[in-house]
A and B are shown apart, each in its own frame.
Chain A
């Protein structure tokens, strides 16, 4: 335990800004993964235990695209589009077969794909750590806000995630497609009786969730190292986020992700050996006081 460092940091604005930014980075990446998870659960009523693999594929796709084309924008696009396609195929061919079956089957199918995807990545890209490197456009001096160092890439990352959150929130609440998706989540039988292809909606939602996780992976590629199995720790953390925020709630995912980001960022100063433990502790406190999460409704 190192409480002096923590209080020292809280007293200095420079350290405060640096830690808050890093908390935002962790939180925003987690949000993108967790919101896909929560969306898929809300509509399809399955928990995608292989969601971390989409994050991993997003990062690897982006790295390869960046190495081939040298364009950062294209790399992001490849990461997101590639995982969206993967999500669509995965849902239509495999997950659609286990809807309504017991959780055991869903867990097993996802477990199988975690094993398969990790090995596929190992086959194509090799088992060693890879790094994409910071794109040239962002190799500019960092900004100084109130004495704290903020790399410009971090600002882009936060902005992209925020835009995704707003588009998603408004899209679900205001557009026709959003209404159809919410209706399908509520009563798929009725929606299909009205002549809407629910299979298409399910596939689309899964692809959207995969795309968001892939986007998170692509955004993380320049700042994190890439390795097969990198998705799993992100998956666990986004589970914790959805448990804290409440399943099926986008706002909950955002708040939960930011809380976890801050806990990780400031916790690593105060409790360097117990940072992970802090997250779990927080989850347990939320679970005991509010079993459905901070923003969750009662799940049927």
Chain B
């Protein structure tokens, strides 16, 4: 057996530590507590930088966690997930600029558009084998990017949506107020994470894991693999699109970079950084990535080299994300204390 085959045999992902039983009530309580803590943060600090950081974490975190639903849970390595991030940002921005509807209406309409686009692209892509899937999704990402660039009359071409996005107040919430925007972003983040966790822990979520581990066996016991993959593809797209909407609200505009392939690359890197075997890995990865990115861009203009080396260090050197190490350490500690007790 060559080294190559030996590595294939070793199991890549191990979910033995995840909770087997769905506990929606407990999860809802945790979500609520996290939201309250986040919402109280502005009272403790007036640092605009920190609040901005949390908003960006919300945008990127929703995007990265939704990508993990595909990569980590279903084994679909999408290299074009960023297209839905861009679609969310542009859809929402255009809706607000051109039609002037209320914010919640634009929000729902943007998700509806994302739903349709994801359904079409997903229907074409999900039956492809994994390498084909990775780059056909990438190709669609570039199609959306080039459409944004060439449809100048609607999207403003390479200048992006400029002139700001109008944000009329609704239900007493004024999104042009920084504090209101912060609270809404936190709420969207917490709700999004809660919903995604429910999906991951549901019987459907376990079906996805089964498809990841052995799609043939899954289809033998009567699971419609194609439909399950398409469902999660569309669901993940909706959450990514929500991330894009937060980003559009935050920068009050939308730029072609939001739909560029690098966003997808960053999403995969974030997942690697945090680890794909835990639900919160991508969130941890998001925070790490944003800190890393901010620091590196401040220090050097050649941040690609630095980021590239960090990625290589994780992908070839550590081979695991940060949360994987935390879990490993936790399990080891528990085993050791178990031995001591017996």
Contacts and interface: CB of A to CB of B under 8 A. Distances in A.
Nearest to B313: A112
Interface stretch (B31-39, B94-102, B123-131, B165-173): B123-131
B43 interface: no
Interface residues of B, number: 50
Interface in A86-114: 94, 97-105, 107-109, 111-114
Contacts of B143: 276-277, 280
A291 B77 contact: no
Contacts of B302: 119, 122-123
A1 interface: no
Interface string A233-244: 100100110010
Interface string B70-102: 010001010100000000000000000000000
A154 interface: no
Contacts of B309: 112, 116
Contacts of A111: 265, 268-269, 311
A287 B124 contact: yes
B138 A236 contact: yes
Contact of B308 (A101, A102, A112): A112
A192 B131 CA distance: 26
Contacts of B79: 49, 107
B2 A192 contact: yes
Contacts of B142: 233, 236
A101 B7 contact: yes
Interface string B218-251: 0000000000000000000000000000000000
B150 interface: yes
Contacts of B299: none
B261 interface: yes
A100 B147 contact: no
A116 B124 contact: no
A98 B316 contact: yes
B308 A273 contact: no
B281 to A, nearest CB: 13
Nearest to B151: A273
Which DSSP category, helix, strand, loop or mixed, fits chain B's interface? Answer: helix
A108 B268 contact: yes
A119 B305 contact: yes
Contacts of A41: 131
B116 interface: no
Contacts of B138: 236, 239
Contacts of B136: 243, 283, 287
Interface residues of A, number: 48
B146 interface: yes
A280 B140 contact: yes
A47 to B, nearest CB: 5
B8 A100 contact: yes
A97 B268 contact: no
Contacts of A102: 12, 75, 77
Contacts of B50: none
B30 interface: no
Contacts of B151: 273
A239 B142 CA distance: 12
Nearest to A293: B132
B90 to A, nearest CB: 17
Nearest to A105: B315
A97 B313 CA distance: 12
B312 A232 contact: no
A112 B312 contact: yes
Nearest to B302: A119
B320 to A, nearest CB: 11
A284 interface: yes
Given A101-B12, A232-B261, A108 B307 contact: no
Residue among B139, B150, B268 with the highest chain A CB neighbour number at 10 A = B139
A100 B269 contact: no
A198 interface: yes
B139 A109 contact: no
A247 B12 CA distance: 26
A273 B150 contact: yes
Contacts of B303: 119
A99 B4 contact: yes
A135 interface: no
B134 interface: yes
B272 A108 contact: yes
Given A119-B304, A232-B261, A188 B2 contact: yes
Contact of B129 (A99, A101, A198, A299): A299
B1 A189 contact: yes
Interface string A281-298: 001100110010000000
Given A47-B135, A115-B308, A284-B124, 20 more contacts: A41-B131, A49-B135, A100-B5, A105-B319, A107-B268, A109-B312, A109-B315, A112-B307, A114-B265, A116-B309, A118-B304, A119-B305, A119-B308, A188-B2, A189-B4, A239-B135, A243-B139, A277-B146, A283-B139, A299-B129
What 9 pairs across the A-B complex have the smallest Cβ distances? A116-B308, A119-B304, A115-B304, A112-B311, A115-B308, A112-B308, A100-B7, A108-B315, A100-B8
